[in-house]
């Protein structure tokens, strides 16, 4: 394993074709990746894979509404069928187990398990109970996210995350789930990527519900974090043995030059992408620099809210994909300055493993109470095609190797990292990009629902087999 996780990156073009990349990954003997208690798994999300949006009492979600709105999702795609996981879950569990994956991170669809009055929907609950019980039977460690963006539409109709009452309805939902599923879940995450829910959903309109107002974004974020804080004691009371945490997407911002203005811009980028979420969780206050970027957008915060939000966490989930190079916008903010000649994915995102290491070590220095960390999402999209029964996604193998190397470096630098979940187990509905962008290590033919193990999945299986033999 190279000391510099980006060294390989600099030598590779976006069209990686080096067959040596598929060799089994062999970290050095002192690598943390050989630790017995380091968890390696894969992740998915309910709306992205389940389909069956009108079956067994499931209610509409904001993503059903958004994706059915012309012009919101690429090619007019929706999650109505997705990977049909709702009907194919048993085979998908066998697939996951066949790869040797030790952990599985999934999410529950809130509209599938409760009716509009808050009463349980037994058919929806039974689906998740069967799924989680099967995973436990197979020895798979289960990480369950309560909210991965599919808010019930009836709550959005009453204001969604702009309405403080939604935070209390989320606590009711967390109460029901943790009472019904206690003992089947190893770790509960309250929210997935509140930055995306708040900013993409309410700030720029790229995601459901499609609103665009900076003031909306900061208020939605506050209610999301309040929902998290209200749910934590409920989860502790109902399922005391499990871990409780939250999942945040984080972004590495680098400056386009050594100028003070550009350095300040990079700092403000990370305030907006990272401190906006982590400061209230770990310091009990919003970063005031955020409101220099967005003057006059301070959310309405009631007495006691920040104490609720900053309740201790058992773990912090970190989702990382790329870095953003920025320069000063000449005022009080930043502007993106895309770098040329760098490796990129199908999403156009730069492959930059050093960013993961630098963020993790930076958080460890900034937050003295940083809880144990799990990398809950890390992966890349590519235009994968099945040719002669195979999917040769060697760039993804290289991507995974280099980011695992970055994780190992961060652990050696003192960060308490307990596991890594690749995104994603299978190709799926990629939100506003529909089905064009493929993140899975398993290819899905959406017309037939045939699963084809990609070369990256073969590599993962080989690595996990070698790891199992060592630990």
Catalytic annotation, residues: 377
Which residue from 10, 3, 96 is spatially nearest to 49, judged by alpha carbons?
A: 96
DSSP state of 338: P
Task: Give yes or no for a contact between 80 and 119, defined as CB atoms under 8 angstroms apart.
Answer: no
User: What's the sign of the alpha-carbon dihedral 305, 310, 316, 320?
Assistant: positive
* C-alpha pair distances (Å), 317 with each of 96, 170, 398, 419: 21, 19, 23, 10
How far is Cα 26 from Cα 225, in angstroms, rounded to an integer? 40
223 CB-near residues (< 8 Å, 6+ apart): 161, 162, 163, 164, 166, 167
Which residue from 260, 182, 248, 189 is spatially nearest to 221, judged by alpha carbons?
A: 248
Which residue from 319, 228, 331, 230 is spatially nearest to 274, judged by alpha carbons?
A: 319
Which residue from 233, 246, 116 is spatially nearest to 187, judged by alpha carbons?
A: 246
Q: What is the DSSP string of 82-147?
A: TT-HHHHHHHHHHHHHHTT--EEEEE--HHHHB-TTS-B-HHHHHHHHHHHHHHHHTT-EEEEEEE
Q: In what order do the strands lie in the sheet with 334-336?
A: 252-255, 323-328, 334-336
Q: Residue 357's CB: how many other CB atoms inside 10 A?
A: 26
How far is Cα 286 from Cα 291, in angstroms, rounded to an integer? 9
Displacement of CA 61 from its chain's centroid (Å)? 19
Helix (H) or strand (E) holding 422: strand 417-423
* C-alpha pair distances (Å), 418 with each of 33, 77, 314, 461: 10, 36, 11, 20
Token look-up 């490796």 returns 343
DSSP state of 351: -
How far is Cα 230 from Cα 217, in angstroms, rounded to an integer? 20
Task: Give yes or no for a contact between 81 and 121, defined as CB atoms under 8 angstroms apart.
Answer: no
Joined tokens for residue 449: 């629902």
33 CB-near residues (< 8 Å, 6+ apart): 27, 40, 404, 407, 408, 467
DSSP state of 212: -
């Amino acid at each position: 394993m190279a000391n510099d996780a980006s060294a390989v990156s600099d030598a590779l073009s976006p069209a990686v074709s080096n067959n040596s990349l598929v060799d089994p990954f062999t970290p050095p003997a002192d690598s943390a990746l050989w630790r017995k208690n380091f968890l390696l798994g894969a992740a998915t999300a309910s709306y992205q894979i389940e389909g069956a949006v009108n079956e067994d009492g499931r209610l509409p979600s904001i993503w059903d509404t958004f994706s059915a709105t012309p012009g919101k999702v690429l090619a007019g795609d929706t999650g109505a069928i997705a990977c049909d996981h709702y009907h194919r879950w048993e085979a998908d569990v066998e697939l996951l187990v066949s790869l040797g994956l030790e952990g599985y991170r999934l999410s529950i669809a809130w509209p599938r398990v409760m009716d509009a009055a808050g009463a349980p929907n037994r058919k929806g609950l039974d689906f998740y109970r069967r799924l989680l019980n099967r995973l436990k039977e197979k020895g798979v460690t289960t990480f369950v996210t309560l909210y991965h963006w599919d808010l019930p539409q009836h709550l959005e109709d009453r204001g969604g995350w702009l309405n403080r009452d939604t935070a209390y309805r989320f606590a009711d939902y967390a109460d029901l789930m943790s009472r019904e599923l206690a003992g089947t879940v190893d770790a509960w995450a309250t929210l997935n990527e509140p930055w995306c829910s708040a900013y993409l959903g309410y700030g720029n309109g790229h995601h459901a519900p499609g609103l665009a107002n900076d003031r909306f974004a900061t208020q939605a974020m506050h209610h999301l974090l309040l929902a998290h804080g209200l749910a934590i004691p409920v989860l502790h009371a109902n399922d005391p043995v499990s871990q409780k945490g939250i999942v945040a997407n984080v972004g590495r911002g680098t400056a386009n030059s050594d100028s003070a203005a550009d350095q300040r811009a990079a700092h403000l980028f990370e305030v907006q992408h990272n401190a906006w979420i982590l400061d209230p969780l770990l310091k009990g206050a919003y970063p005031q620099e955020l409101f220099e970027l967005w003057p006059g957008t301070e959310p309405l915060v009631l007495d006691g809210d920040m104490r609720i939000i900053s309740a201790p966490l058992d773990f912090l989930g970190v989702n990382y994909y790329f870095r953003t190079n920025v320069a000063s916008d000449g005022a009080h903010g930043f502007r993106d300055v895309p770098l040329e000649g760098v490796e990129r994915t199908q999403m156009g995102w730069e492959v930059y493993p050093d960013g993961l290491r630098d963020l993790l070590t930076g958080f460890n220095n900034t937050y003295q109470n940083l809880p144990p960390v799990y990398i809950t999402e890390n992966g890349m999209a590519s235009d994968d095609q099945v040719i002669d029964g195979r999917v040769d996604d060697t760039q993804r193998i290289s991507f995974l190797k280099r980011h695992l190397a970055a994780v190992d470096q961060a652990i050696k630098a003192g960060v308490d990292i307990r596991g890594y979940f690749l995104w994603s187990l299978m190709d799926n509905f990629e939100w506003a990009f529909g089905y064009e962008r493929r993140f899975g290590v398993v290819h899905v033919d959406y017309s037939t629902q045939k699963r084809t193990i990609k070369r990256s999945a073969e590599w993962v299986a080989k690595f996990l087999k070698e790891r199992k033999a060592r630990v």
